Amino acid sequence: MKAAIFEKPGLENLKIKHDVEQPKITDHDVLIRVKVAGVNPIDHFVVSGTRPIKPIPHIPGAETSGVIEEAGLHVTSLEKGDRVIVHNKVFDGICDMCLSGNDMLCRNGGLIGVATNGGFAEYITVPEKNVFKIPNEMQWELAASLPVTTLTPYHALKEAALKVNESLVIFGASGNTGMMAIQFGKKMGAKVIAVSKDDWVKDFGADYIIGEYDRVVEKINELTQGKMADVVLNSLGVQTWENSFASVGLNGRLVTFGGLTGADVKLNIQSLYSKQVKLIGSTGGTRKEITELIDMSKELKTRVWKKFTLDEAKEALEALFDKERDGRILLDISNSS
């Protein structure tokens, strides 16, 4: 089969090969013909060598959608031709975290595309328990955005227990997860303040947009009549940390799941306890939450900036950091020659 694959770290070492062995299924696996794969920062980290991976040679790709090509002997919920998405968490199902419903925190787990080969290929094999059917009317662009880009902020805002009439500030609002967080904020009944220079986030439900980055805290103070935010979502890391923390109001919550601009931040402990701020780390999401997203998928949308072919996987990864990027980047693998 055709796949984007590398034997040693570095974007320059990512090659497109046509003779990669097609993965084989076991009795509890399915073989998926990949349609569209999402391109995420984690894929860049994997190829560039900042994340430990296996196996080697390695196929990246953490966000996958496609069609069932073959089902194992003991697979009961899926059959050939089903349109599906892949939950990208590797989990054993027997540790205390898995048994409590937190499979994304599996003590013996990992990520598909990191701890296993991923979806930047014509075919991928995954266990039945990781695969979810999607409606026939769902666009592939949204389908390829559900497993990571959509699930991550949804789980994060649930962890933050966002409530009706609360104020939510989203840093990185026009990014992959940001545009989805705006939609969830509105569905949860919050007043959504988007920190972004892109006016199109208004179309995703933002009540207010702050494009003056040097006046973010001041603007939030004005919009909340001095109360500041009940919940702040920071998916970017150190670059927006100071403004994020300063934007949290009394008894507020700051939830984070990304460190794209750096992970080491300074924290004023006195300010933390005197304002009684809750710091919440969040990662991925649960299988149950994926089913919830599928159920509400008709009410969700995404914005695509560019689609690349599988042959252009390297260019797609490089484009993640293009200053002109204005939406999602996807690999249209089904239309790759």
The answer to whether domain 3-145+302-332 and domain 150-281 are alike in fold is yes
Q: Give residue 248's pLDDT.
A: 98
**3-145+302-332: CATH topology:** Quinone Oxidoreductase; Chain A, domain 1 (3.90.180)
Given pLDDT bands bounded at 50, 70 and 90, which one contains residue 323? confident
Q: Where are the domains of the chain?
A: 3-145+302-332, 150-281
Domain 150-281 maps to which CATH number in 3.40.640.10, 3.30.450.40, 3.40.1010.10, 3.90.180.10? 3.90.180.10
Single pTM value for the model: 0.96
- The sign of the CA dihedral 72, 78, 82, 86 is negative
Give the other-Cβ count within 10 Å of 19's Cβ. Answer: 7
**Is 156's pLDDT higher than 70?**
yes
In tens, the pLDDT along 224-283 reads 999 999 999 999 988 899 999 999 999 999 999 988 787 888 999 999 999 999 999 999
Structure-token pair, residue 10? 């570095």
DSSP conformation class of 151: H
In tens, the pLDDT along 179-232 reads 999 999 999 999 999 999 999 999 999 999 999 999 999 999 999 999 999 999
Residue 170 forms beta bridges with which residues? Answer: 194, 233
State the Cα–Cα distance between residues 219 and 208, nearest whole angstrom. Answer: 10
**Is 121's pLDDT higher than 70?**
yes
Q: Give residue 260's pLDDT.
A: 78
State the Cα–Cα distance between residues 179 and 197, nearest whole angstrom. Answer: 13
Helices then strands, counting H and E runs in the chain, come out as: 10, 17
Q: 82 with 76: CB under 8 angstroms?
A: no
